[in-house]
Amino acid sequence: MRMKKFLAFACLALLVPALNIAFKSPERAGVDASAPDDTRGRTNVPVAPKDTIRTGADQTEQYVPYLKGKRVAILANQTSIIGRRHMVDSLQALGVNIVKVFGPEHGFRGNASAGAHVADEKDAATGIPLISLYGKKNKPSKEDLADVDVMVYDVQDVGVRYYTNINALSRLMEACAEYGKELLILDRPNPNAYLIDGPILDMKHKSGIGMFPIPMSHGLTVAEFAQMANGEGFLTNKMTCPLRIVPVANYRHSMYYTLPVKPSPNLNTQQAIMLYPSTCMFEATYLNHGRGTQFPFTVLGAPYLKGIYDFSFTPTSIKGMAETPLFMNEVCYGLDLRNYDVNKLLKRKQINLDWIMELYKASPQKEKFFDSKLSNQMNSIEVQIGTSEFRQQIIDGVSEADIRKSWEPGLSNYKKMRKKYLLYKD
């Protein structure tokens, strides 16, 4: 049997009963999926009625019976909730035997700074061993999984290639494939699922923030990505991981979804999450993109733009967010996007290139603009964007239309391929 058919059968075997019953769980989602207060004036955004979207985790009736009597390990962080309670606490209360928890970047509780290594420890609340996959190792070992019958993955993603959760998921899939463990994915909405844009990663720029030949914003939930990773041979040696999936109920990609928990310390507002596909590219420039403030990814600036822009902000050291931000304690001048109408992004369905083109043109220090060493970044703009041409295109003042043309036919081919793995309508 071909792998695609196997995956479809595996998903349906779990999910068919769910499609014919009313969803009545004692653990309500507690998620307001309607547009938040800071999206006033955006009435044409597709919005899910309050409390109708149910994440995979919230549908305990679909998977708790399956987990009962098994030794369970979970890859989770602070976004792994059932209702308003952490899923580890909830599943223990429901009689699930959780033998260990694996933590990704930012740690199990989500309080580690971006890029900071996280040590193994024990969870103070439950006593369960916590094993970091963002420290000495990046995937479970044979010994880690020796006393595990089934792995569970439940981590909120934001749908962008350089957000490292899908990397952690792929390595977990490899470990499960290698050591014969089934992976249960409790799916969650992607708040940027409407957006499929950016160049396909040129694999010569493969890195820790880009491991797969997908665009900057990939338009997939984590379960859809997992199916793609299996089907397209993304895993090492093209191995495939046995998957069992609980999809999000009452969801489609075009829905505006407000996350109930911040997915990481620096994505601390819905505005930041929606701007992230467009503003994270500034990590590879000589500009501060809000790190060291309480509004990262929503402001852009540098001291050398004084006199060009009126808006200013001053980055400082903030524990757990950015302890040594670029231009720390210096006044930066630039763009304030905190009140930018994200409906413009939802209408265009494109990453915004205007901001990087504008700021490069305005910069009096163009020779430093893409110098990642000056900004203490490990990643060049080529690694961040995923293509060799982008730097020179911005320097040469190439039009946005021509930049986008250079992303073809890769982007169009990806969109066609993506359709094979979708669990939800666009």
Q: Is the dihedral of CA 403, 272, 419, 172 positive or negative?
A: positive
Give the residue among 422, 356, 418, 354 at the shortest CA–CA distance from 215: 418
- With contact defined as beta carbons under 8 Å apart, do 397 and 221 qualify? no
Question: Hey, what's the torsion of the CAs at 170, 174, 176, 179, to 10 degrees?
Answer: -170
Q: How many other CB atoms sit within 10 Å of the CB of residue 311?
A: 15
Which residue's structure tokens are 């020779």? Answer: 367
CA atoms of 37 and 39, how far apart (whole Å): 5
Domain tally for the chain? 2
pLDDT, average across residues 249-254:
96
Nearest to 246 by CA among 9, 58, 426: 58
Residue 20 in domain: yes
> Residue 47's pLDDT band (boundaries 50, 70, 90)?
low
Specify whether 116 is located in the same domain as 190.
Answer: yes
Instruction: Tell me: pLDDT of 146 over 80.
Output: yes
Q: Are residues 35 and 117 in the same domain?
A: yes
Judged by average pLDDT, the poorest of 16-30, 179-193, 243-257, 338-352 is 16-30
Average pLDDT over residues 357-371: 96
18 within some domain: yes
Q: In the predicted model, what is the mean pLDDT of residues 410-415? A: 98
Contact 249, 189 (CB under 8 A): no
Whether residue 107 is predicted with pLDDT greater than 60 in this model: the reply is: no
* Residue 133 clears pLDDT 80, i.e. is over it: yes
Other beta carbons within 10 Å of 87: 26
Residue 177 inside a domain? The answer is yes
**Cα–Cα distance, 47 to 35 (Å, whole number):** 7
Q: What pLDDT score does 320 carry?
A: 86
Do 380 and 327 belong to one domain? yes
Mean pLDDT of 374-398: 89
Residue matched to tokens 């030949």 = 213
Q: What percent of the chain has pLDDT over 70?
A: 83
Q: Most confidently modeled of 32-46, 49-63, 107-121, 302-316?
A: 302-316
Q: How confident is the model at residue 123 (pLDDT cuts 50, 70, 90)?
A: confident
For β-strands 196-197 and 217-218, DSSP reports them as antiparallel
Do 29 and 165 fall within a single domain? yes
Domain that holds residue 294: 270-395
Tell how many helices (H) and how many strands (E) occur in the chain: 13, 14
Confidence of residue 108 (pLDDT cuts 50, 70, 90): low
Question: For tokens 């290594």, what's the residue?
Answer: 117
Report yes or no on 277 lying in a domain: yes
The mean pLDDT of 276-294, rounded to a whole number, is 96
CA dihedral 414, 417, 422, 425 (to 10 degrees): 70
Lowest mean pLDDT among 138-152, 325-339, 372-386: 372-386
The residues, ordered by sequence, that sit 6+ positions from 403 with a Cβ below 8 Å of its Cβ are 353, 390, 393
Last residue of a domain, one of 261, 290, 312: 261
Indicate if 89 and 235 belong to the same structural domain.
yes
Same-domain check for residues 244 and 294 = no
Whether residue 111 is predicted with pLDDT greater than 80 in this model: the reply is no
Where is 154: in which H helix or E strand? strand 150-154
Say what the pLDDT of residue 390 is.
98
* Domain end among 261, 285, 315: 261
| 40 and 178 together in one domain | yes
pLDDT of amino acid 374 = 67
Mean pLDDT, residues 54-59 taken together:
97
Residue 417 lies in a domain: no
Alpha-carbon separation of residue 74 from 54, 129, 178 (angstroms): 20, 11, 17
User: Does the residue 401 lie in any domain?
Assistant: no
Residue 114: inside a domain = yes
Residue 126 has pLDDT above 90, yes or no: no
Residue 227 predicted with pLDDT over 60: yes
For residues 96 and 74, membership in a common domain is answered with yes
- Residue 109 forms part of a structural domain: yes
> In this structure, are 48 and 130 located in the same domain?
yes
Judge if 304 and 191 occupy the same domain. Answer: no
- Which of 241, 261, 281 is the last residue in one of the domains? 261
| Residue 134 clears pLDDT 80, i.e. is over it | no
Residues 206 and 354 occupy one common structural domain: no
pLDDT at position 86 is: 93
Q: Are 78 and 167 members of one domain?
A: yes
CA-based nearest residue to 191, from 250, 278, 255: 255
User: Do 169 and 120 touch, CB atoms closer than 8 A?
Assistant: no
Domain CATH number, residue 49 = 3.40.50.12170
Q: Quick one: pLDDT at residue 104?
A: 76
